[in-house]
A and B are shown apart, each in its own frame.
Chain A
Amino acid sequence: MIATTTVHSGSVVLAVAVFLACAVEMVEALTIVVAVGTTRGWRSALEGTLVALVVLGALVVALGPAIVHYVPLSTLRLVVGGLLLVFGLQWLRKAVLRAAGLKAKHDEDAIFARNVEELSETPATSGRDAAAFVVAFKGVFLEGLEVVVVVITLGTTSHNLGLAATAAAAAIVVVGGIGLAVARQLSAVPENAMKMGVGLMLVSFGTFWSGEGVGVHWPGSDLAIPVLVAVYGLGAWALVIALRPRTRVETPSVLSVTERGGAHG
């Protein structure tokens, strides 16, 4: 009974983490694809997207089982845990700074406008549009590489690569479908909240596995993962609250306040 519960809690966190990570990156990639499609036509944009997704899927299929087969589990957990820890901290740091109003939120509208402007400067060709294909391919591939790393690291370390890949595929279908339906309203997606969630889960998995890799005894075994998510969530919330009031009230002189020695904490 306890074993079933721990396996399920770990699997649920794994699936949610991969789904959210993939969804966030899909929003960013989709912005580029929609910009290409509306500017240069959908055929080449969708072809570039499809080829990029196939290449990314092939990377997961090729690398995932090989890593599981050849790398010892303790080494895998230490390396993967360290990777996830660093990667997750980067996401969480940005999300906290954005939530506190210290960093501009990701602006899908600006990215869309920039891509449209750049594509408009390139002369259109008859037949297949190479520029549209390349921009769509690169957009999806570069954003997707991070998802591939997340899928492979989370999937291999938890011995659940199939679940991780399925969660990523589900995110692609869901976000892709919704994104194409709403087309240019991707800026309405609560991207920072999703990034905060992904950052929390990546940091939690990273802490758990890097700890396991060096011999930490986690109370409750895998049940420690959702506890870590909750603890880090509280910490991130406290950071946002601690940073927010001063920036809201004294927006024009945030830096001058801290430079005068009035830093809090």
Chain B
Amino acid sequence: MADPTPSAAAPANPVSGMVAAFGRFWWEFLIGDTPELFVGAVLVVGLIALVCVDHAARTWAAYLLPALVAGLLATSVWRAKRSGRA
């Protein structure tokens, strides 16, 4: 997954280089080439949080959450196929 080869443009300041590498790691880790999964997951969890404000809805939220996550995965996979960016 990671590329261990040295970067072509190594920063002169080692501290800023480490900060940049840390930022790059988290960007790749969370977003990478699938921003829709990050945004979608945030929206799904946010929606479930809103649903759970109603105590009575907390049990059926247990069924809604996996359904939305599965839908998010299917959408991302289909999007990859249609755009040819698999």
Contacts and interface: CB of A to CB of B under 8 A. Distances in A.
A216 B48 contact: yes
Contact of B37 (A83, A86, A243): A86
Contacts of B78: 263, 265
B20 interface: no
A231 B81 CA distance: 23
Contacts of A134: 6
A83 B78 CA distance: 23
A96 B74 CA distance: 10
B81 A216 contact: no
A127 to B, nearest CB: 21
A28 interface: yes
Interface string B29-62: 1101010011001100100110010000011011
A78 B25 CA distance: 21
B8 interface: no
Contacts of A85: 41, 45, 69
Contacts of B14: none
Contact of A86 (B1, B30, B84): B30
Q: Which label, helix, strand, loop or mixed, suits the secondary structure of the B interface? A: helix
Interface residues of B, number: 38
A215 B84 CA distance: 38
Interface stretch (A58-66, A143-151, A166-174): A143-151
A82 B52 CA distance: 16
A169 B25 CA distance: 23
Q: How large is the interface on A (under 10, 10 to 19, 20 to 34, 35 or more residues)?
A: 35 or more
Contacts of A146: 1-2, 29
A219 B52 CA distance: 15
B2 A89 contact: no
Contacts of A206: 41
Interface string B57-86: 011011001100110111011101110101
Contacts of A152: none
Given A25-B1, A97-B80, A243-B81, 20 more contacts: A81-B45, A87-B30, A89-B69, A90-B34, A93-B73, A135-B5, A143-B2, A203-B73, A207-B65, A207-B69, A210-B41, A211-B61, A211-B62, A211-B65, A214-B49, A215-B61, A216-B52, A217-B61, A239-B74, A254-B84
12 contacts: A93-B34, A93-B76, A93-B80, A96-B77, A118-B5, A210-B65, A211-B48, A214-B49, A215-B49, A219-B59, A232-B66, A239-B77
Interface of B: 1-6, 25, 29-30, 32, 34, 37-38, 41-42, 45, 48-49, 52, 58-59, 61-62, 65-66, 69-70, 72-74, 76-78, 80-82, 84, 86
